[in-house]
């Protein structure tokens, strides 16, 4: 039997998925394989045992489910004497038999909202309603890019930033399932290909999806940080005794190291934008390893001006390879209203004022010193930044 004939016959028995009417995704491609004898699935972990003359495997690729970028689900349709006699399908990593219901010879399968697992029947869907609501709501995006699959080893490197962008994209698609009557999606209308061609398709498709996430998902392309009384406690500074302003050592503010490491591990690009001699910041940040977690260091002693001078922010933008249009997505975090906040506001950045110390004024005197966000504990900063990033949109 030729490949074209296999695909043509597989369309005759292709499942009709009953999707939730609020479902944001649709199947993109289907890899097909025909079994004439017992054998391992070529695209899943399961062994297939014939129930009739032939069994058609449908490997159903979705760009996303509500928890991950990449979703591959499976249905096996057993045929005897030209009729469907049994259907098996995947359900959250397992496989079970689906109650046999046909429409013009094609099996009908209830599909879980958001997650795309296959229910045994409508009653099974209704029993799982509460779990489905949770998946489509607060659990949206929790898995990032799904790399726990047999095809992922052939993909380009998936970075922490890719996982974060996938989570962000999916979190913004949270929805409430409708339940009720299903929306029919006939898999015969979705492009078919031999399952042997599926790895090449998936690799190319993932490159497209990751590229779209990077280009089109509103996110923070960088975060700018001040140092003194933002990361380092200025009250603990020990300066050189030669009359210079160079600090030999100082203690980090409690929580500062964890904040920077957590943000770095989440794939955020960090830039230090600080006033003082470069030697100071190397002395106070290198012992903890934080200096190397900043992609760039924009130091007033090198630039020749200090904040709020626009040149400090221009140099930071240039060194980080940012466009002017991106500045409204790049927060500046600092403790000084006259320098960090005023400079950030004038340069077009969101300004995050850390008001933990009494060493400097804590109340804005002008509208230009009014911060976008004000906080008093580093323990909440990562969460605040995540909320800010979630709120971003493409609209100016």
pLDDT, tens digit, for every residue of 113-132?
999 999 999 999 999 999 99
| Whole-number Å distance between alpha carbons of 217 and 164 | 10
276: left (phi over 0), alpha (psi -120 to 50) or beta: left
**Structure tokens that stand for 394 in this block:** 């493409």
In this prediction, residues 232-244 reach a mean pLDDT of 90
pLDDT for 362 equals 87
- Length of the chain equals 396
Q: Is the pLDDT of residue 396 over 60?
A: no
pLDDT for 150 equals 87
Contact 341, 367 (CB under 8 A): no
Mean pLDDT (the chain, rounded): 96
Q: Is the pLDDT of residue 35 over 70?
A: yes
pLDDT, tens digit, for every residue of 244-287?
889 999 999 999 999 999 999 999 999 999 999 999 999 999 99
Alpha carbon 176 to its chain's center: 20
| Whole-number Å distance between alpha carbons of 232 and 253 | 5
pLDDT for 1 equals 67
Contact 105, 150 (CB under 8 A): no
376: Cα within 13 Å, side-chain hemisphere = 4
Torsion of CA 192, 196, 199, 204, to 10 degrees: -50
Name the pLDDT band for 217 (thresholds 50, 70, 90).
very high
| Whole-number Å distance between alpha carbons of 312 and 390 | 27
Q: Which residue has the tokens 């403790």?
A: 335
CB atoms < 10 A from the CB of 107, how many? 23
Residues whose CB is less than 8 angstroms from the CB of residue 208 and which lie 6 or more positions away in sequence, other chains included: none
In this prediction, residues 90-117 reach a mean pLDDT of 97
Contact 34, 6 (CB under 8 A): yes
pLDDT, tens digit, for every residue of 307-357?
999 999 999 999 999 999 999 999 999 999 999 999 999 999 999 999 988
Reduced 3-state DSSP string for the chain: CCHHHHHHHHHHCCCEEEECCCCCCCCCEEEEEEECCCEECCCCCCEECCCCCEEEEEEEEEEECCCEEEEEEEEEEEEECCEEEEEEEEECCEEEECCCCEECCEEEEEECCCCCCECCCHHHHHHCHHHHHHHHCCCCCCCEECCCCCCHHHCCCCCHHHHHHHHHHHHCCCCCCCCCCCEEEEHHHCCEEEHHHHHHHHHHHHHHHHHHHHHHCCCCCCEEECCECCCECHHHCEECCCCCCCEEECCECCCHHHHHHHHHHCCCCEEEEECCCHHHHHHHHCCCCCHHHCCEEEEHHHHCCCCCCHHHHHHHHHHHCCCHHHHHHCCEEECCHHHHHHHHHHHCCCEEEECCCCCCCCCCCCHHHCCCEEECCHHHHHHHHHHHHHHCCCCC
Q: Is the pLDDT of residue 358 over 90?
A: no
Q: Is the pLDDT of residue 240 over 70?
A: yes
Q: Which residue has the tokens 């012992």?
A: 287
pLDDT for 395 equals 63
pLDDT, tens digit, for every residue of 134-171?
999 999 999 999 999 989 988 889 999 999 999 999 99
Residues whose CB is less than 8 angstroms from the CB of residue 288 and which lie 6 or more positions away in sequence, other chains included: 252, 257
- Please provide residue 254's backbone torsions phi and psi, each rounded to the nearest 5 degrees: -50, 130
CB atoms < 10 A from the CB of 258, how many? 14
In this prediction, residues 87-108 reach a mean pLDDT of 97
| Whole-number Å distance between alpha carbons of 105 and 58 | 16
Going from the C-alpha of 123 to that of each of 2, 120, 129, 237, 277, the distances in angstroms are: 40, 8, 10, 67, 69
pLDDT for 361 equals 87
Q: Is the pLDDT of residue 220 over 90?
A: yes
% of the chain at pLDDT higher than 70: 99
Q: Is the pLDDT of residue 243 over 80?
A: no
Torsion of CA 326, 329, 333, 338, to 10 degrees: 70
pLDDT for 78 equals 98
| Whole-number Å distance between alpha carbons of 194 and 2 | 11
**Structure tokens that stand for 83 in this block:** 């009729």
């Amino acid at each position: 039997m030729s490949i074209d004939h296999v695909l043509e016959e597989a369309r005759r028995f292709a499942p009709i998925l009953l999707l939730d009417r609020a479902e944001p995704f649709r199947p993109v491609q289907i890899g097909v394989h025909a079994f004439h004898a017992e054998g391992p699935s070529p695209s899943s972990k399961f062994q297939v045992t014939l129930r009739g003359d032939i069994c058609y495997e449908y490997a159903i690729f979705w760009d996303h489910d509500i928890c991950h970028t990449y979703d591959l689900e499976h249905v096996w349709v057993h045929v005897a004497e030209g009729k469907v006699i049994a259907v098996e399908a995947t359900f959250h990593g397992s496989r079970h038999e689906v109650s046999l219901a046909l429409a013009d010879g094609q099996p009908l399968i209830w599909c879980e909202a958001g997650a795309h697992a296959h229910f045994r029947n409508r009653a099974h869907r209704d029993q799982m309603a509460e779990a489905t609501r949770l998946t489509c709501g607060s659990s949206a995006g929790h898995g990032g890019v799904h790399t726990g699959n047999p095809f992922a080893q052939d993909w380009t490197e998936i970075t922490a930033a890719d996982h974060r962008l996938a989570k962000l994209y999916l979190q913004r698609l949270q929805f409430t399932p409708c339940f009720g009557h299903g929306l029919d999606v006939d898999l015969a209308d979705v492009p078919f290909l031999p399952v042997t061609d599926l790895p090449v398709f998936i690799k190319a498709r993932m490159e497209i999806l990751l590229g779209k996430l990077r280009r089109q998902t509103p996110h923070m392309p960088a975060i700018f940080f001040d140092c003194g009384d933002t990361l380092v406690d200025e009250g603990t500074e020990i300066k050189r005794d030669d009359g210079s302003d160079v600090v030999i050592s100082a203690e980090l503010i409690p929580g500062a190291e964890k904040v920077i490491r957590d943000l770095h591990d989440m794939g955020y690009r960090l830039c230090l934008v600080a006033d003082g001699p470069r030697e100071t910041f190397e002395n106070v940040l290198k012992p903890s390893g934080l200096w190397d977690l900043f992609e760039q260091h924009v130091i007033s002693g090198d630039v020749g001006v200090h904040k709020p001078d626009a040149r400090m922010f221009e140099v930071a933008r240039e060194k980080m390879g940012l466009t002017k249009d991106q500045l409204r997505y790049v927060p500046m975090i600092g403790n000084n209203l006259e320098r960090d906040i005023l400079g950030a506001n004038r340069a077009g950045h969101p300004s995050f004022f850390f008001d933990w110390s009494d060493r400097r004024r804590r109340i804005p005197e002008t509208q230009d010193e009014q911060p976008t966000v004000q906080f008093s504990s580093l323990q909440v900063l990562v969460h605040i930044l995540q909320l800010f990033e979630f709120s971003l949109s493409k609209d100016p």
